[in-house]
Each structure stands twice: as structure tokens, then as C-alpha cells.
């Protein structure tokens, strides 16, 4: 414990992150609980590996697990092993002893995400818990370029406010291009990306999807450039040449 007074809960804490602390040292457990609560987190504490294992069988047990290794009942390694064996995905921060490098390695190999060596500064504990929670948060699902936005969660494409209808494969091709803006991608890369199950699709089919997409996104301020003999590159369109002399370079 570094004894610093907890900072007032910041905006980041508004959703009250739920942390499960598994620590059999009652004094340390109590201190951790107070520090994390002071940072606006919702904290549960259990003192044995078996209790933790039982709790973690519930999907909503916690968003982040802070786990001591030396525990009564089953140890921290076994808690992680069982958690991952059940398909549990929540991030795990191990608390390890200073000189136990092999413990850290073993913990990480069993599926822990990070570790802190005792004794640690509480500010570092808080920062690492937040980093783990962020890493685990759903990725921003909206891709955008020019006037085009692709909302992967809602499976909706728009140009400005207007919804654009895309077939499943047109969507997949456009999504791949948007993930590789301003980079040249080959037709084969596109096929591999949209057909991970090994369905077969010809290079010509890719050309067909691309030409349909060009029509559908014609007014989005972006263009799919053909890189001859190789593939394509999605980029912002050159400024429209319709405005008086602004588009006429003096060269």
C-alpha cells in the first residue's frame, strides 16, 4: 500500500467496474478493497481459491479478476486453469511474490493476462486493472472514410445519413478495404479475408464486387483505385473537378 489518498472517482469510473479480488491475507484484501472502492470500482473479495472457482462459474462474477497465487483450497494457478478451461474470458491480474519469476511465467502460460509483484503501489494496481478492462472492452465497431461509415455491430452502411444496401459479400469486401485504407491489397487477400472457410471464389468475382461497390459508394467521397495486375486501394477521392478552376493545377 502506498498510503496515497484515493483520487475522486473520475468519469472513467461511472460504469463502476466490477472487480473480484482473491486474496487470503485479510489485511491486504481489506486494503485492496478499500483502495479500489475509493476509485469507484465495485469490489468483491474472497479468501480462498475454491470460493473463487465457485463464484467464477457465474458469467457475471466480475469484469476483472485480481488473483493471489498462494491460496487455501486450490491455488491461483488452478483457478486460472479452470477459468480458461470453461472458456471464461475475463482478464486476470496475478499477484506474485517478488522473486518468483517461474510463478509469473506459469501464470501467464495458464492464461493470466498480467501480474503485479508484491509489494506494489496501489496506483499501479488501479492503472493495470483499468488497462486490462479496456483491452477487454468491445472494439469500436464503426469504420469510416469520407462520407462512408460501416457499423459492424449493426451491420449497417451509410453515406452521410443515407443507408446503403449491400450484399453479404459486398459488405465483407468493403469492410476489408476499410480496414486497410490507403494500402494496396491483392484480390487474393480479399478472397482470403472474406472466405475464411475456404469456399471458392474466383478473382473475377472480386472484380464484380468491386465494380458494384464503386457504383454504390460513388458519392461517398472515396474511391477504390485499381492497382493494375495486383489489386486495389481504398482512399479518399481527389477533390471533385466541378468547382471552377480550383482543381486545375498550374503545371
Q: Which of residues 145-164 bind Ca ion (CB under 5 A)?
A: none
**Which residue number, 103 or 170, has a Cβ lying nearer to Ca ion?**
103
In angstroms, give the least distance from the CB of 84 to Ca ion: 21
Q: Give the contact letters, 115-144, x = binds to Ca ion (CB under 5 A), - = no.
A: ------------------------------
In angstroms, give the least distance from the CB of 21 to Ca ion: 12
Q: Check binding of 24 to Ca ion (CB under 5 A).
A: yes
**Which residue number, 68 or 103, has a Cβ lying nearer to Ca ion?**
68
In angstroms, give the least distance from the CB of 68 to Ca ion: 4
Q: Check binding of 78 to Ca ion (CB under 5 A).
A: no
**Which residue number, 21 or 177, has a Cβ lying nearer to Ca ion?**
21
Q: Check binding of 70 to Ca ion (CB under 5 A).
A: yes
In angstroms, give the least distance from the CB of 71 to Ca ion: 6
Which of these, 153, 165, 160, lies nearest to 213 by C-alpha position?
165
Which of 53, 63, 68, 170 touches Ca ion (CB under 5 A)? 68
In angstroms, give the least distance from the CB of 100 to Ca ion: 12
What residues make contact with Ca ion under the rule CB under 5 A? 24, 68, 70
Amino acid at each position: 500500500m502506498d498510503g496515497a489518498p484515493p483520487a475522486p472517482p473520475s468519469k472513467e469510473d461511472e460504469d463502476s467496474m466490477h472487480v473480484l479480488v482473491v486474496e487470503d491475507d485479510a489485511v491486504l484484501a481489506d486494503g485492496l478493497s478499500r483502495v479500489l472502492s475509493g476509485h469507484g470500482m465495485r469490489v468483491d473479495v474472497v479468501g480462498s481459491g475454491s470460493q473463487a472457482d465457485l463464484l467464477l462459474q457465474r458469467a457475471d462474477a466480475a469484469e476483472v479478476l485480481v488473483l493471489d497465487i498462494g491460496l487455501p483450497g486450490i491455488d491461483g494457478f488452478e483457478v486460472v486453469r479452470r477459468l480458461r478451461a470453461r472458456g471464461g474470458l475475463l482478464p486476470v491480474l496475478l499477484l506474485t511474490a517478488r522473486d518468483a519469476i517461474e510463478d509469473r511465467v506459469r501464470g501467464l502460460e495458464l492464461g493470466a493476462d498480467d501480474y503485479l509483484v508484491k509489494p506494489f503501489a496501489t496506483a499501479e494496481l488501479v492503472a493495470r486493472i483499468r488497462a486490462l478492462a479496456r483491452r477487454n472492452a468491445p472494439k469500436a465497431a464503426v469504420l469510416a472514410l469520407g462520407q462512408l461509415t460501416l457499423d459492424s455491430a449493426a451491420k449497417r452502411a451509410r453515406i452521410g445519413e443515407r443507408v446503403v444496401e449491400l450484399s453479404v459479400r459486398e459488405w465483407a469486401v468493403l469492410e476489408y478495404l476499410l480496414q486497410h485504407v490507403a494500402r494496396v491489397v491483392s484480390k487474393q487477400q480479399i478472397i482470403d479475408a472474406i472466405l475464411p472457410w475456404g469456399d471458392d471464389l474466383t478473382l473475377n468475382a472480386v472484380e464484380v464486387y468491386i465494380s458494384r461497390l464503386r457504383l454504390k459508394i460513388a458519392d461517398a467521397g472515396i474511391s477504390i483505385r485499381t492497382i493494375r495486375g495486383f489489386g486495389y486501394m481504398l482512399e479518399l477521392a481527389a477533390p471533385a473537378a466541378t468547382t471552377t478552376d480550383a482543381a486545375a493545377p498550374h503545371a
